[in-house]
Amino acid sequence: MAQHQPPLPLAQTNCLADLDVEQLPAQYKREGDDWYAVFNPRARRVLDVDLIHNLPHQSVVCCVRFSLDGRYVATGCNRSAQIFDVETGNPVAHLQDGSLPEDGDLYIRSVCFSPNGQYLATGAEDKVIRVWDIQTRTIKHQFTGHEQDIYSLDFARNGRIIASGSGDRSVRLWDLESNSQIANFSIEDGVTTVAISPDNLYVAAGSLDKSVRVWDIQSGSLVVRLEGQEGHKDSVYSVAFAPSGGRLVSGSLDKTIKMWELTTPTRFVPGNAPSGKCVRTFEGHKDFVLSVALTPHGDWVLSGSKDRGVQFWDPHTGVAQLMLQGHKNSGMFIFINPASATLLTIDSHLRRPLSHRRRLRHRFRRYARPYLEVRPLQRTLDGTPRRQP
């Protein structure tokens, strides 16, 4: 008679990349033509995942973002941005600055929709932020000032402010009403990622110096710096606010994801800044964590890694629910639809090896991946899984 195996430690249960897909029972895996998902055998399975669309591109895809209403998705490529209809997968807009010379590469590193879906902001290697009127396919605003590539953009929910992060070691805020830069936060190393809180009060940024910083947008003051003993041990490549705004998630080259609680007991009293503490560390990836996100209601934390996996984590327990595995290009980036249970992944391939403090100077080549839909798992009366139609 087979001996009962003791439960694996929590850290091991989260290393889903170590599971042998061929040996897993059918209820713990899902396979497609060029992707598969494995479900944690030691966690109750409550999600399912399936392919919706592939989005063909003629150029390398560097970035992806959904519109706030979930109807459209934009991609940034070489010299242009494209917008697709989420339901059909059909292209609906092609945005390219015709005033630029046609020779050479000009990769769009970041894209972001305005909350009302009327505009798309793009950040490129030429250090220019362009804000496009999607309907007319024309540039509404153009912001200059960054001295290196723009790696991240985020629109405030009020539709007025854009935050940008660049390899020039700065986070900048741009006001669409005044058509001007309204803030410039300089730090000690390159900025990899920015995010504005849902209440429009704060902007967070991750950096090559291992820190996550949070500024008060109105006062321009640095209110909290998340680092040190409980902080990341390597560069931070992605940050995302929880839908409530009270928590922040960060992903790092130290292979971990951290959830930070921003405590603001006297938020509306002038001069009282939030404090931050790490409330959970998610461990299980085998390589750099390159991207993090939360589902629309904060039910799941997602992470994409250079280990080619995207993992879903329970934010309350830190246990991994499932892992999506891409094909052979190294690195997975994930983007959540804020209005539905869909996500889009892209693979990245580093053209040159990463090296210590110069990581941002190496070009990411990212390839479009399918839309994937994640749904709660239904169960039959005997408890066996049944996918929703």
Residues 303/311, Cβ–Cβ less than 8 Å: yes
What was the pLDDT predicted at 14?
Answer: 86
Could you read off the pLDDT of 219-239 as tens digits, one per residue?
999 999 999 999 999 999 999
Can you give the pLDDT at residue 381?
Answer: 31
In a 3-state reduction of DSSP, which class is residue 17? helix
Starting at the edge strand found earlier in the chain, the sheet holding 91-95 runs 63-66, 72-76, 81-85, 91-95
Question: CA–CA separation, 48 vs 218, rounded Å?
Answer: 42
pTM of the full structure: 0.86
Per-residue tokens: 22: 């061929």
Q: Bridge partners of 210?
A: none
Q: Is 196's pLDDT higher than 80?
A: yes
Confidence of residue 332 (pLDDT cuts 50, 70, 90): low
Q: Each residue of 147-173: pLDDT tens digit?
A: 999 999 999 999 999 999 999 999 999
Mean pLDDT of 332-346: 71
What does the DSSP 8-state code read for residue 78? B
One-letter-per-residue 3-state SS of 272-294? CCCEEEEEEEEECCCCCEEEEEE
Q: Does 336 have pLDDT greater than 70?
A: yes
Tokens of 271: 């001069």
CA distance 6 to 244: 38
Q: Across all residues in the chain, what is the average pLDDT? A: 83
**Which region among 54-58, 84-88, 300-304 has the lowest average model confidence (pLDDT)?**
54-58
**Could you report the per-residue pLDDT of 37-81, keeping only the tens digit for each?**
999 998 998 888 887 887 888 888 888 999 999 999 999 999 999
Residue 345, pLDDT above cutoff 80:
no
pLDDT for the residue 341: 63
Decide which of 386 and 373 is more confident: 373
Better-scored residue on pLDDT, 332 or 364: 332
Q: Look up tokens 């910083």; give the residue.
A: 213
DSSP string, 335-355: EE-TTSSEEEEEEEEESS---
Q: What angle do CA 249, 173, 199 make, to 5 degrees?
A: 50
DSSP label of 61: -
Instruction: Provide the pLDDT confidence category of residue 360 given band limits of 50, 70 and 90.
Output: very low
Per-residue burial over 65-82, b = 16 or more CB atoms within 10 Å of its CB, e = otherwise: bbbbebbbbbbbbbbbbb
Report residue 272's pLDDT band, with 50, 70 and 90 as the boundaries: low
